Amino acid sequence: MKRVNVFDAEFEYDEADPQGYRAAAAFVSKTLGSEETAIKAFELPPNERLCPYHYEYVEEWLLVLDGDVVVRTPDGEQELRRGDLVLFASGPSGAHQVSNRAEQTARVLMLSSSREPAVAVYPDSDKIGVWTDADPDGHIFERTAAVPYHLPAHSRRSPLQSSGNLHESTNRKQCLVRCLPAQPT
């Protein structure tokens, strides 16, 4: 039997994460060899967010391991503390964003399905992320890049010929940097 202690987990930071979205991850389910459940522990420093506001088409669970976090949902914001467990429903009603506004680092555990293809929707930036087993880095698309269902194959543009609406691959390791809302100019 494999075992992981989430309180002793080794967290990895991604230097590519922008300010405001710097969180470290420990890949709990990967360490245990899980193929059906995604479990990740996150270390969230003060004034950082875990991911942009988003929802998926599977349930997601959040357990606060240490510290205090603020969770934004369609119903507003709610403060959670150590030991609080919440469920984010599948679809728009389960939209959420986890932030640390406290002065101490917080740690949380996120659980969801690892089934793919996986889709996440980012309402603030009007983008969609898609991941498959064959392309685990996934792709982020602006919704304006959508094409009609019956568009003939010869009418499609390749991603390299895109008008800029198709975004480059991004690592799903923690969250989707390309899904951040556009900055005002």
Residue 8 belongs to some domain of the structure: no
Residue 160 belongs to some domain of the structure: yes
Shared domain for 81 and 31, answered yes or no, is: yes
Shared domain for 87 and 108, answered yes or no, is: yes
Domain total for the chain?
A: 2
Please say which residue of 83, 113, 143 terminates a domain: 113
| 3-state SS string for 92-152 | HHHCEEEEECCCCCEEEEEEEECCCCEEEEECCCCEEEEECCCCCCCEEEEHHHCCCCCCC
Residue 4 belongs to some domain of the structure: no
Residue 87 belongs to some domain of the structure: yes
Residue 184 has pLDDT above 50, yes or no: no
Q: What pTM did the predictor assign?
A: 0.80
Shared domain for 89 and 161, answered yes or no, is: no
Domain containing 131 equals 118-179
Residue 15 belongs to some domain of the structure: no
Shared domain for 109 and 123, answered yes or no, is: no
pLDDT in tens, 82-117: 999 999 999 999 999 999 999 999 999 999 998 888
